[in-house]
A and B are shown apart, each in its own frame.
Chain A
Amino acid sequence: MEFEIYVSRLEELPVEQECELLIRALTPSDRRKKYKYQKVRALISQQKDRYPDLLWVRFLKGQLHTDPYSIRIANTKGATDE
């Protein structure tokens, strides 16, 4: 699976520590749900093969960072859930 996240700087991404992130789905099984946002608790790595899923990174004006991260999602909740 592939996901995407927006950050102002790469340093904001808390690599190798479980954290809560707001990400969007790029390859859901139902294609109509592409770009749906969800809050997840996850581990991320700068090494793209370390965790099972890919996490693409965009900056705040939409520019895509060329090198994806990897992500392991522990659990998922709704975007507006506390």
Chain B
Amino acid sequence: MAFRDNREFFEALLRTGDGIRVAREVDWDLEMGAIVRRVCEMGGPAPLFESIRDYPGWRALGAPLATFRRLAVALGLPAHASVREISEVYIEKTRAPGPEPKLVSTGPCKENVVVGDEVDLFMLPAPMVHEGDGGRYLSTWHMVVSKDPDTAEVNWGMYRQMVIDEHTMVGPLLPVSDTGRVFHNKYKPKNKPMPFATVIGADPTSSIAAAAGVPWQEPVFASALSGEPVELVKCETVDLEVPATAEVVLEGEILPGKELPEGPFGEYPGYRTSLREPRTVYRVNAITYRNNPILPGANMGVPVDEGQLLRAFTLGLEARRILASQGLPVSEVFMPPCSAHHLMIVSVKSAVTNIAVQVAHALFGSKLAPWFYYVVVVDADVDIYNLEEVIHAICTGCHPGRGIRIYEDDIGSFATPFLSLEERRQGRGAKAVFDCTFPPDWDPKTELPIKVSFETNYPKEVKERVIANWKDYGFPQ
């Protein structure tokens, strides 16, 4: 089922035990952030804060998609669906572009409209997420909507935004991002402001589309994911469209020729890595919002938050699509969220000589490359969703000398903890592939190891008898 908005989604989370209402007043200044952080680290239910200090009438939702259970619910699956099942549904739903988004005349996000001098970002309960952060981060679970002025191609991207004053936000809009590419190449050289709209609290599939690295324009991807056209409304002050049921929309311009210090901020690898540095300035000219609004937010830190979970989940599946499009014999791809989306595990169906290197080259050369560093290639009999099996495959299948290939002076991300400050600033890094497949030219009779397991080393009738009698042996079923 498709959720029309974030509210229907939260009601579903309540039904599965994956959401909780917090009636007690909480402080936007660190307390809310601390609760959400603990929820992420404990895998707890998403809290809906119904009473926020200084902000009567406002609510906030923490960690809306920080678990695979919540992701399953968002995609219309039972909460207990396995990661493999969720992956297959995601791939199936997004095999082809969805219906075109539908433009509607108005929507709940227009219930309150504030424009011009009346705009005041401090009317929104932006949390102070972590102690020491450079400011209040209004946008941690959101999408920045923009349009390419030449192609009219729309982009929804998740680029964090920190409040500076009543009208101003600042954030990293990196040239490697889709919106950053358009801003830095097409607006900044002409000293022209770039229109934007920040959508906070869209329906869950639109949020997933914005967080994912997707092959099509995000509104079409979101429609494919939900199975229904996303309903969009026109903005008040810029030529952009936003999801009609969003909780809050900020409209304005990204300013060329102006930068302000941004950060520091607790980032997705689980560290505060990048320095406070001059970054892109957003001028907000209008705010529209729903009645009794809900401000959703993520809290980046050690795993698992929705940034890690969704980026890992979607990057892994986009990588699978890329590898399949190259005709490579790939079975499955999984990025464990606990890797902070730095590790891509790929299982291959047949071991062609150096298939691991071919897989790695295809991925390191893709647009996903800035976001991960390690590729582990295993045989298809390894369950890549079972990290113990993957570690076993690395430790028994990967030769420490010839099985690991290092790529120096490659690309990287500004937030990666193991990179030097200089590498982070320049977007440089390194990459490695771990080939855990056995060489195909090894003689099966003498050289190729035989895996020893219950599954592979017993006759069918013995296995069936053991399973059938398991309880009678005295084991719990």
Contacts and interface: CB of A to CB of B under 8 A. Distances in A.
A38 interface: yes
A80 B253 CA distance: 14
A24 B134 CA distance: 9
Q: Closest 5 A-B residue pairs measured CB to CB?
A: A62-B132, A60-B275, A60-B276, A62-B264, A32-B122
A60 B132 CA distance: 9
Interface of B: 29, 54-55, 122-123, 128, 130-136, 163-166, 168, 255, 258, 260-261, 264, 272, 275-276, 281, 283
Interface residues of A, number: 22
A37 B275 contact: no
Contacts, number: 62
A64 B134 CA distance: 12
21 contacts: A6-B134, A6-B261, A6-B276, A8-B275, A30-B122, A32-B55, A32-B122, A35-B135, A36-B122, A36-B164, A36-B166, A58-B132, A60-B276, A61-B264, A61-B276, A62-B132, A62-B272, A78-B168, A80-B164, A80-B165, A80-B258
Contacts of A61: 132, 264, 272, 275-276
Contacts of A24: 135
B132 A64 contact: yes
A74 interface: no
A36 B276 contact: no
A51 to B, nearest CB: 23
Nearest to B259: A80
Contacts of A63: 132
Interface in A58-82: 58, 60-64, 78-80
Nearest to A30: B122
A63 B135 CA distance: 14
Nearest to A8: B275
A18 B423 CA distance: 36
Contacts of A62: 130-134, 264, 272
A50 interface: no
A79 B132 contact: no
Contacts of B136: 35
Interface in A29-66: 30-38, 58, 60-64
A70 to B, nearest CB: 22
A24 B258 CA distance: 19
Contacts of B264: 60-62
